[in-house]
Structure 1
């Protein structure tokens, strides 16, 4: 592994080699959450302030933070000393009027410019449906290859966050819950290939716990999998990946996300940590919108920190160092 990629990956980990990172690169979704509460509240200034407060408080208990260059640069500068930095490179969201959920890069940014403002890694979110038309997925594959080549040239880690979707079924439907494990495996298999230059996969939990009987979020109706089947889906995911991988929270509550991570550990899945966003800080949105910055800071100091520490406790028992998949640090040859 090249020295730059190795050292910047290490910069994003805790002392145990696990990535326990806060994800705070939400843009449109954060704006919409604010606007649902009070129309006009999701201003650029408000979004920037929210990110700053989350960074100031929660990075004291995290190994790194993921931000965006549009609203997050002040927050990047106010993270706790010694914490890693990741920056998103993609335009947030997608145009629902255009087929294929095609990705776009921020037009006034490059991987080089992200490095110049202090990132340790470049992150891309990509919507991907393995069953899409070939021309759609070729566009997306070439897109990832280009970003991988940029990161390789700059000797900076490349984190890829592929999100599964289906053209027929909503992501929260029972039908999609049944398809999701296979989609996630197929996506991981594709983007583990060396041609893409990905260093770390940020992957979805391969099940929807709302359809797992007995889980915290079970809806009490349709069952897509039992606990043994759920464990097998986690194991199949791990067997497919040739790269270290993190789990994303996908917006579920913190108790649900911790349960999912514990299930992964039961399945002996060697995940390398988390990039966890809304599960830790989304409860602060109404506090901020209704009561202001000082009230948000108080909430973060209490509930936000509690959420992160509870997640860290699970990671200390369940996660493995990122280099485990390579046989440990001693098995990695760092080249200049």
Structure 2
């Protein structure tokens, strides 16, 4: 079980509902959000547009979330717009990775530290790590040491450390392919096992589901790669490889599919403790905001965006487990 200090436990409670379930909203995207806004707009998109959209999402949707994940580069104004019920997670990683160098190596924002992020109001620190369990030992060992240092920094500041793990295959860039779907359960569950080790001082894992649901029997529109029984086993195995609280990321799938996935996970016996859901909630609001302005974006968020997050909350209440069961 995870041992939490008094300060970390209080922070975790600020990020969760009364039952110990995390229903967090994620909008820490930077480069990808800029591209989404630019693609839907006839005008050049500057930093102001990104800041404004984050502010709108925070203001209109955090009344229905337990917390929000933002970045310190564009998201701090949005942090001030969040509802009083919503805790604050702040991203610490530099967005993207250097594609010219092998290994998708992690990097930190150069003018920030855990201390500084805590000073601006963060209840927890989030860091994104791309990880291939089968990549060269010298690459993965660098990542292990990096996360050990980051975990120690969070221990020193007595603040929860949320580690977001995104799997990949160094030999196959297409993570949506059937070839990747076949190896995804191994990639996801083994990396969770690795970063559950005490040396990393992780408090909560933010992870993918262990299968691509578009290849699961009963959900697939085409090729089936996993029977329902196989997919069930992978979800169950995911819970068994870690003693840490863990939450699911939406990975950009539709709101409906993400909700169906949570139901499947619960029925499979997964002990996930909530979600940190981003694009599945707000991505379709980018187009009206970018093409028609803030009023149109606000209207979408107050209607469809609200409906998305309320539907997700309903599913969470029926499927997620309390992180209280995993801590002491």
- Asked if these proteins are the same fold (TM beyond 0.5), I'd say yes
Is the contact made by 1:86 and 1:120 (CA closer than 8 Å) also made in structure 2? yes
Distance 1:137 1:92 in 2: 19
Q: 2:25 aligns with which of 22, 25, 28?
A: 22
Among candidates 201, 209, 213, match of residue 209 of structure 1: 213
Alpha-carbon distance in structure 2 between the residues aligned to 1:277 and 1:71: 16
Aligned to 2:169, which of 159, 166, 170? Answer: 166
How far did residue 42 of structure 1 move? 3.3
Tell me: CA distance 1:99–1:39, structure 2 relative to 1, closer, same or farther (3 Å). Answer: farther
- Structure 1: 5+ residue stretches without partners: 327-331
Contact 1:232 1:267 in 2 (8 A): yes
Distance 1:193 1:52 in 2: 37
Contact residue 125 and residue 163 of structure 1 kept, 8 A: yes
Cα distance between partner residues in 2 of 1:173 and 1:35:
27
Q: 1:187 to 1:65 in 2, by over 3 A?
A: same
Matches of 2:140 and 2:43, distance apart in 1:
37
Where does structure 2 lack aligned partners over 5 or more consecutive residues? none
Once the two structures are overlaid, the 10-residue window that deviates more, 195-204 or 316-325, is 316-325
C-alpha contact (below 8 Å) 2:23/2:275 kept by paired residues: yes
Aligned CA-pair RMSD? 1.0
Q: Which of 187, 202, 221 matches 1:219?
A: 221
Residues 34, 41 of structure 1: 8 Å contact kept: no
Listed as ranges, the matches of 1:13-92 within 5 Å are 13-38=16-41, 41-92=44-95
Measure, in 2, the Cα distance between the counterparts of 1:265 and 1:10. 23
1:178 to 164, 182, 191: 182
Number of positions where the alignment pairs a residue of Structure 1 with one of Structure 2: 324
Residue 306 of structure 2 is aligned to residue 305 of structure 1: yes
Q: Secondary structure at the match of 2:24?
A: strand
Superposition deviation, residue 320 in structure 1 = 1.0
Provide the secondary structure at the position in 1 that maps to 2:175. Answer: coil
The DSSP-based 3-state class of the residue aligned with 2:214 is: helix
- Deviation digits for residues 107-166 of structure 1 (CA, Å, limit 9, x no counterpart): 000000000000000000000001111111011111111110110001000000011000
1:251 aligns with 252
SS at match of 2:309: helix
Match in the other structure for 1:276: 277
Secondary structure at the counterpart of residue 283 of structure 1: helix
Partner of 1:325: 326
Q: 1:18, 1:321 within 8 Å by CA — same for their partners in 2?
A: yes
Q: Is contact 1:270-1:324 (8 Å) kept? A: no
Question: CA-to-partner distance for each residue in 1:163-197, whole Å, 9 max, x for gaps?
Answer: 10002221011011010001111101000000000
Deviation at 1:39, TM superposition (A): 5.8
Which residue in the other structure is 2:191 paired with?
187
CA distance in 1, matches of 2:304, 2:63: 14
Q: Secondary structure at the match of 1:130?
A: coil
Q: Does 1:120 align with 2:123?
A: yes
User: 2:42 & 2:107 partners in 1: Cα distance?
Assistant: 28
Q: Deviations over 1:61-96 (max 9, x none)?
A: 000000000000000011001310000000011121
Point out the more displaced range, 30-39 or 150-159.
30-39
Match of 2:104 among 89, 101, 104: 101
Report the counterpart of residue 329 of structure 1 in structure 2. none
Cα distance in 1 for partners of 2:85, 2:237 equals 35
SS of residue paired to 2:275: strand
Would you say the 8 A contact 2:41–2:287 is kept in 1?
no
Superposition deviation, residue 223 in structure 1: 1.5
| Contact 2:63–2:85, Cα closer than 8 Å, also in 1 | no
* CA displacement, residues 247-267 of structure 1 (integer Å, 9 cap, x when unaligned): 000000000000110001101
Q: 2:294 is matched with which residue?
A: 293
